[in-house]
Structure 1
Amino acid sequence: MSERAVHVAVQLRQVTVDAGDREVSLSYPGILLTGYEDGEQVWERWVPFGEDPSEEDDERLIEELHRALLWRQGQAPPP
């Protein structure tokens, strides 16, 4: 059986958008979930949340963490 691990990190993503006469850079916080199998990265999932996370944000994060942990246990496909 292969060795699986899930890495969880807070990440601030930067996005640059064209605002007509100029480019605007926006940042958005989230949780980065990364799955490793035998030391190799096999999947990555970024779960965004706002400055003031909502109950919906919390539920989505819980769902994604649950899926990642099931994958780590070998009980589910990659999220």
Structure 2
Amino acid sequence: FNTSSVSVTICNQACQSVSVISNTQLTCVTPSASASSTDRACSLTVTVGSLSQSVSYIYQANLTATITSISPTRGGTGGGT
């Protein structure tokens, strides 16, 4: 199939960098979800040409990366800190 006609959406947002690995596998960078302390369910839809297939997808709050500190906390205006 024509790999240039493949698109993926998660929670109605387009995935970035969709790469088709094979006829049964692809990868993409998921879009960010709004911050939440609870899991969020939505649809994942793969479209190839005029054909689409959707499945359930869950953003898991406990897997979301969180910045907890930054070091050093200050630096010079010349950068490189």
Q: What TM-score comes out, normalization by structure 1 length?
A: 0.29
Q: What TM-score comes out, normalization by structure 2 length?
A: 0.29
